[in-house]
Structure 1
Amino acid sequence: MIVDMQHAASDPSVGGKAGALARLDSAGFDVPPFFTIVGTPDPSALASALAALGAGPYAVRSSGLQEDGAAHSHAGQFESILNVGPADVPAAVERVAASGERDGIAAYRAGHGLEGGGRPAVIVQAMIDAEFAGVAFSADPVTGRRDRIVISATAGLGDRLVAGEIDGSTWWIDTTSERVADASGDDALLSPAQLQAVAALVRQVEAAFGGPQDIEWAYAGDRLHLLQARPITSPIREAPIADDGIAVFDNSNIVESYPGIVSPLTFTFAAYAYARVYTAFVGLLGVSSAAIGANRNVFENMLVRVNGRVYYNLGNWYRALALLPGYALNRGFMETMMGVGAPLPAEMAARLEVAPATGWAKTREYGRLAKVAFGLLREAVGLPARARDFRLRLDRALAATTPERLKAMPLTELAAEYRRIESDLLDRWDAPIVNDFLCMIAFGASRRLLETWLAEDGLQIHNDVLIGQGDIISARPAQLIRAMGARAADDPGLIAALEADDRAALAASAIAPDIAAYVAEFGDRCTEELKLESVTLDEDPRSLHAAIAAAARSRAAPPVRNSDPFARLHAGLRGRPLRRMVAGALLRWTKNRVRDRENLRYERTRIFGRARRLLLAVGRQFHAAGLVEDPRDVFLLTIQEVLGTIEGFAVSFDLAGLAALRRGEMERAAASPDPGERLIVRGGAYTALTALSAARSEEEGTERKGTGCSAGRATAVARVIADPRGQSIAAGEILVARHTDPGWIALFASASAIVVERGSLLSHSAIVARELGIPCVVGLKGATDWIRDGETIEVDGASGLVRRCAP
């Protein structure tokens, strides 16, 4: 008997596959035409059916009674024959039907407790001349995840892919973000539009059948055909409830403080510190206790950790700022200070929008603004005294216990010492945070004012004003390295000892006292200094020795400063005395705030240095007690787990197990691609993370523009540095990096210019480069991929232009 396509859906004798294809055709899917043979066909009826189907070739396939069922797919059990010519169809039909009597199928059915069996019905279907073909799953058949679509494809027919003879190319598509979460093989085999079309097709089939589906598909030209559909028979998880929550994570600026993979201990210590500091700050500015309490979750989640990397939870920064009046103005200033380079997604921006106050609400808003303005004025006037008191309090807190005393403390005393530092310093972090906020306002307002009055010249004057303040402590390490390099320049043996890290020879050298003084003052100022797990200079001074050697060989000339920016300001505003007075006063105030911001951040380094020593002492005690395999495993725990183990509130005392788990997680994170500068998260933070920053251009080009932040030009060999602890630059080369932190200062001493992929005008690299008079460009997207190590480039630190020079 021959059953045509239109009647197959209502005839159970055609088997599972033919019935499913007929239902798909009735639902409007592009299924190649077919007919089904049940039993032995009449030759004339077969010839008529083939003539109606077309000239061929054909695909001859099985359709068993329970094939492609919800419980048992029978995948690969029966035979299928492709590219069958009209004359060969009868033999192919018999061969496919006879495959139902093989021993392997009998064993399959017996193993699944199925009765019956025998010869299946046979489908004869028009063959598609496929350009690409493959399979798709509306849920991940391996993990059971309902938020993943899996697509596999190969060029030409997909039979070898379906049979498992070749791997093909595979894509895992996140259904939340509609983007590719992972891929293997030739990920360019299908275009993005083709991938989305296949993903849409498998979802439509799932909707038609009411459950997760496994389909076979083929592209012929621009036409997408559906060749087969069956339920996924492996266990599938329950579909997650739709979640319209959205968050944006951004690390444009914080990557300078916490680059790369960050340990659980560092992250939880920093997140807790941010919560305490910013809660206290908004209270200082007059935000009520009730408002602070209602937004407790905002302050506790200002930082997030994604695949080992630290990000700002950007929405919560806007929410915290919205607690203060003047949100619309301060929002722009905050974005400049944090280096936020892209707008928020429209749907999130709408949720964060603060409606303009009207009527009495507007009057109350003005009252709040006046209260905060008065508070800021009070804080601005009292800031020098507050900063002085803060430093005295810090000195007293750190002097109360010496680093050597920490090594001899038992665990309970170490926990008490941590709590004391937490109470005395983190809860009273007033001067740095007040100055940061004033710096944000001063920097943004002065820059906007000069741009309004003097256009591009105003922006250049703004940059130049911040050069050469002479009292920024972050510039002092580079200055000391240059000085030590100058002393060693005429001593080849000393330079060789520095390069070889010959500590015995260096201990007897003329610069030994200088090195010791440097380590005593800046021993905690190492690469990635705010990561508690970082090894400091007093533990390993090799990078310092290498930097002094590089400075000794460079004999760098003192930087050439631009002309007096205040003189240029007065010239530009000639005839406008009031504007000159306002601009001059605002610039001087800004200059002081930037200086104090950088200097007070050094105090943060001192606290983190003390916390590092204290927690290492805890690690040694945990190791002595057999709780961890290595003292440094303490960095693989959270601060709550460390304190809870000592004070009693821990939920697990298997610290070695926790450390092993976290070590594996960090190793996997380090081996994975960087998630990107900005991520969007829809739903819970565990879900898909999608980069929002502009994709790097496929076109190489010879010129790109970042943010110019320190005037001057340099043309030299580019040295792309990933880790300053194991790489160096020669005198006069241009330093190119993805990000920098204070520990990179040793390399600044030898650089003729600096190009950084991340950062803003108030980034550490920008501030120190201005202080040292080195041309600097930050925020040059894709710099470390675009610029090749060893090629010659030209850097314009004023305009932000970077050019690759012809070889």
Structure 2
Amino acid sequence: MSGWVLQANDSGDPAVSGGKAAALSALSRAGFDVPPFVVILPEGLSARGLKPDVRKSLESALAELGPGPFAVRSSGRDEDGSSHSHAGQFLSLLEIAAPDVPAAALKVWRSGSTESLRAYRASRGLDPAGGAPAIIVQRLVRARAAGVAFSADPVAGRRDRFVISAIAGLGDRLVGGEADGDDYVLDASGHTVLQGPEAGVLTATDLAALGGLIARVAAVRGSAQDLEWAFEEDQLFLLQARPITTGLREPTLPDPMVTIFDNSNIVESYPGLVSPLTYSFAQYAYARVYRRFVALLGVAPGRISESAPVFDNMLGRVDGRVYYNLVNWYRALALLPGFSLNRAHMETMMGVSEPLPAVISASIGPPPARGFAKVAEFARMGRAGFGLAFEAMRLKRTIRGFYARLNGALRVRPDAIAAMPLSALATEYRTIEAGLLDRWDAPLINDFLCMIAFGASRKLLERWCGPEGIEIHNAVMIGQGDIVSAEPARRIAAMGALAAGKPKLIEALQRGDLVASKGDPALAREIDAYLAKFSDRCTEELKLESITLDQDPAPLLAAIAAAALTPRAAHVRGEDGAAALDRVLKEFPVRRRIAHLVMGWARDRVRDRENLRFERTRIFGHARRVLVAMGRQLAALDAIEAPRDVFLLTVPELLGAIEGFGTTADLKGLVATRKAEMARAAERPDPPERITVTGAAGLSSAVAAASAATPAGAPETIRKGTGCSAGLVRARARVIRDPRRDALVQGEILVARHTDPGWIAVFSNASAIVVERGSLLSHSAIVAREMGIPCVVGLKGALDWIVDGEMISVEGASGEVRKTDG
């Protein structure tokens, strides 16, 4: 073979064979699938073509490469370098048959002396003459798909993602700009597709192979790379790799911090998209309330102050949705007495779907206590226990004090709030913070005691009464009669009875005409009384942006109409819980007495927990009125476009604008940015229940990545959740995603992903309730027990499994849900 024709392995010197050939040679030697090629050095050609000995050597080399066809491409000495790519400056020819290779080589060789190349080299500070390129003759890949790929985003300059553009067949039309391709974005690991068409040129398997190729090439070459590639059947070939020469951002330093977001509990309070105003209000409330919580359990003030970043970041906002920052919740628990003695029990307090990974939990808090440290920890637990017992003994007084502060703070009438100037509204909001959120003692103490009492009483009955003890426990929790959450359903049923048999009145109720609906004096009095007490109770009531019943009473009127058309059938309760307890423990009088005492205390705690949560609704309602009034004033001052734009600002931004400590006066600019963010988030599906992010948690692209799909198994006819209200019902399922839009006919089984107190009007029509999320102490479980409605919570995947309108049976004691025929 002539010295002017080199094999691939001999083409590694860019000064001899050019930059492209040298790169391909290195990649081939590194084990990448590079199609076989030979290189014709520029000295082997003249203006008339290949020199005779070069032609003979080329014919021999082509015979070894195969029958063709071939790709004939340039390899200039400065081409594909780290500073100058020469992209598109030389000629490339495809589909060249073996006899035509010499002529094609001459054309490519001549492209090294064009005026456009001279201009390019001059603009880059290179010698315009440059010299003719070497010629690569390579076996042509019969591509089913081909394209380009970048190990960094060359447009945005980001190094944390791979960018791929693909087209069916050969990639020359894509590279030459003659056709558009399918664009994909992968994360920097190459494993997760962040963006791409649903039915594009590339399959998931193709993308996985490409992600691995991009990562390996960048690692071997030691810099961000621009690749050309092609699939021949299922084999992926690397056709070219060169450094990305556009400016990229500085490489990020490795950041080992792990953040875990989990919404398995909080989604019941803050479902779906949550406004910046609600999020910032909740964030402050959680920070202040849980500082108070750990203080009540004996954590020293100094340790609480040192943990300020933990309490300030109990929540996270992921693509507009609220999540717990689970690692910080765990860090807060680690402050409590007894943590080092029983980590596993402490984890259950968080109520999440799965515990923290062991490698993370092991790094939080002190190691398991031993020796003297164990004695000291028991002493801390003892002090906390005495303190908690003291708080339990004076709980009634604490609750009375809380109600007194609450009623004092809420004494300001809505019309007075509407008449306040901005400075007075800011003062009123500060009163809410200082007088209520910073002194959240009664709900905190009662909630903690409720958790202990409910769990202990349930375990006690299960131990003494066997499996029947769980059913007795649920039965005892039914029918307390003074849980405020169940009152709306009873009032709605009573108002339905007043409207029953009056077609014109029912029609007015159905169309949401409040004036016409109040044409009946008796019904008018009941509606006014309902709104006076429950106007803040609405769907998603803890979201400040939610429309309340005093703003739009249509949901209430519709629920009254439904109750009037189909009077509620009384649910058949089983044996009275107390009687059942007496029967089972008939032979054990001491146990019976203890069981009644424990159950009675647990019932009181559950009752107070639910009633105090209603007071939380009132506080949020008062805060909502204050903040909405701020929005009206700011709109009047032209600081924002519309009053409801206030929900797109945060509490510190609002107060900063009023009190003078804000960092910008451009509230309209902030609103526009947030409005666009919320609109984009609304178009995307909800992120998964749990998200693990490494590095800067609020910036990582992993935050928006969906969880891997679970392969579909065999069709199921039975699933089991947590039974929390006894009774057996067989009826038609109605999947309700938004009770403001979806209707439930009397007697149907309500199926929902999650509920909140604003769903009570829907509950009043349900024959049974199935909820995908939740626990025994969820609002849905407590109210269902109070109303005597069979209920199952925590039925994983309920909305994907149960088809709207199909017949199902619900066993509220065992938690079994069964699909039935016909």
1:270 corresponding residue in structure 2: 282
TM-score with structure 1 setting the length: 0.93
Shift of 1:82: 3.8
CA distance in 1, matches of 2:645, 2:433: 22
- AA aligned to 1:472 is I
Instruction: Please point out which of 393, 402, 420 is paired with 1:381.
Output: 393
Matched, 1:35 2:44: no
CA distance in 2, matches of 1:535, 1:126: 67
- Structure 2: segments with no counterpart, 5+ residues: none
- AA aligned to 2:153 is D
1:421 corresponding residue in structure 2: 432
- Structure 1: segments with no counterpart, 5+ residues: none
CA distance 1:641–1:31, change in 2 (3 Å) = same
- Give the stretch that moved more between structures: 238-247 or 774-783: 774-783
CA distance 1:523–1:803, change in 2 (3 Å) = same
Q: What is the number of residues matched between the two proteins?
A: 805
Q: How does 1:675-694 map to 2 (within 5 A)?
A: 675-685=687-697, 686-687=699-700, 688-689=702-703
CA distance in 2, matches of 1:188, 1:284: 60
1:508 corresponding residue in structure 2: 519
Instruction: Please point out which of 524, 535, 541 is paired with 2:547.
Output: 535
| Post-superposition CA distance 1:607-629 (Å, at most 9, x none) | 11111111122222222222221
Instruction: Please point out which of 597, 601, 606 is paired with 1:589.
Output: 601
Q: Is contact 1:30–1:226 with CA below 8 Å preserved after alignment?
A: yes
CA distance 1:778–1:98, change in 2 (3 Å) = farther
1:402 corresponding residue in structure 2: 413
Q: Is contact 1:176–1:682 with CA below 8 Å preserved after alignment?
A: no
Q: Is contact 2:631–2:646 with CA below 8 Å preserved after alignment?
A: yes
Q: Is contact 1:337–1:760 with CA below 8 Å preserved after alignment?
A: no
Q: Is contact 1:33–1:126 with CA below 8 Å preserved after alignment?
A: yes
Shift of 1:20: 0.8
Shift of 1:161: 4.3
Shift of 1:566: 4.0
Shift of 1:45: 0.9
- AA aligned to 1:548 is I
1:135 corresponding residue in structure 2: 148
- AA aligned to 1:629 is E
1:356 corresponding residue in structure 2: 368
Q: Is contact 2:74–2:108 with CA below 8 Å preserved after alignment?
A: yes
Q: How does 1:167-566 map to 2 (within 5 A)?
A: 167-175=180-188, 178-186=191-199, 189-191=202-204, 194-220=206-232, 223-327=235-339, 338-352=350-364, 354-399=366-411, 401-451=412-462, 456-509=467-520, 510-566=522-578
Instruction: Please point out which of 784, 801, 817 is paired with 1:769.
Output: 784
Shift of 1:772: 1.6
CA distance 1:359–1:336, change in 2 (3 Å) = closer
Q: Is contact 2:287–2:311 with CA below 8 Å preserved after alignment?
A: yes
CA distance in 2, matches of 1:204, 1:14: 24
Q: How does 1:23-172 map to 2 (within 5 A)?
A: 23-39=26-42, 40=45, 41=50, 42-100=54-112, 105=117, 108-109=120-121, 112=124, 114=126, 115-116=128-129, 119-130=132-143, 132-154=145-167, 157-165=170-178, 167-172=180-185
Shift of 1:296: 1.2
CA distance 1:134–1:757, change in 2 (3 Å) = farther
CA distance in 2, matches of 1:580, 1:152: 73
Matched, 1:701 2:707: no
| Post-superposition CA distance 1:247-299 (Å, at most 9, x none) | 11111121121111111111111111111111122212221111111111111
Matched, 1:794 2:809: yes
CA distance in 1, matches of 2:535, 2:305: 39
Q: Is contact 2:745–2:765 with CA below 8 Å preserved after alignment?
A: yes
- Give the stretch that moved more between structures: 324-333 or 761-770: 324-333
- Give the stretch that moved more between structures: 331-340 or 1-10: 331-340
Shift of 1:637: 1.5
CA distance in 2, matches of 1:169, 1:447: 58
CA distance in 2, matches of 1:334, 1:10: 64
Q: How does 1:654-673 map to 2 (within 5 A)?
A: 654-673=666-685
Q: Is contact 1:439–1:594 with CA below 8 Å preserved after alignment?
A: yes
SS at match of 1:87: helix
CA distance in 2, matches of 1:450, 1:151: 61
SS at match of 1:380: helix
- AA aligned to 1:151 is I
CA distance in 2, matches of 1:260, 1:692: 16
Shift of 1:525: 0.4
| Post-superposition CA distance 1:299-346 (Å, at most 9, x none) | 111111111111111122222122112337886666656541122233
CA distance 1:120–1:576, change in 2 (3 Å) = farther
CA distance 1:460–1:170, change in 2 (3 Å) = farther
- AA aligned to 2:532 is A
Matched, 1:717 2:732: yes
What's the % identity of the aligned pairs? 58
Shift of 1:664: 1.6
Matched, 1:729 2:739: no
Q: RMSD of the TM alignment (CA)?
A: 2.7
- Give the stretch that moved more between structures: 204-213 or 452-461: 452-461
Q: How does 1:620-635 map to 2 (within 5 A)?
A: 620-635=632-647
Shift of 1:778: 2.4
CA distance 1:583–1:117, change in 2 (3 Å) = farther
CA distance in 1, matches of 2:41, 2:466: 83
CA distance 1:213–1:435, change in 2 (3 Å) = same
CA distance in 2, matches of 1:104, 1:785: 60
Q: How does 1:733-752 map to 2 (within 5 A)?
A: 733-752=748-767
Shift of 1:155: 5.3
- Give the stretch that moved more between structures: 593-602 or 10-19: 10-19
Q: Is contact 1:700–1:786 with CA below 8 Å preserved after alignment?
A: no
CA distance 1:732–1:389, change in 2 (3 Å) = same
SS at match of 2:12: helix
Q: Is contact 1:677–1:691 with CA below 8 Å preserved after alignment?
A: no
| Post-superposition CA distance 1:427-478 (Å, at most 9, x none) | 2110001111112222333344445555644433333332222221111111
CA distance in 2, matches of 1:797, 1:335: 27
CA distance in 2, matches of 1:453, 1:552: 45
CA distance in 2, matches of 1:159, 1:726: 52
1:3 corresponding residue in structure 2: 6
- Give the stretch that moved more between structures: 252-261 or 784-793: 784-793
CA distance in 1, matches of 2:428, 2:384: 35
Shift of 1:34: 1.0
| Post-superposition CA distance 1:463-496 (Å, at most 9, x none) | 3332222221111111211221122121111111
CA distance in 2, matches of 1:693, 1:89: 51
Q: Is contact 1:737–1:757 with CA below 8 Å preserved after alignment?
A: yes
- AA aligned to 1:591 is R
Shift of 1:604: 0.6
- AA aligned to 1:587 is M
- AA aligned to 1:793 is I
TM-score with structure 2 setting the length: 0.92
SS at match of 1:229: strand
CA distance 1:120–1:498, change in 2 (3 Å) = same
| Post-superposition CA distance 1:775-799 (Å, at most 9, x none) | 2232333333333333333333333
CA distance in 2, matches of 1:496, 1:56: 80
- AA aligned to 1:754 is I
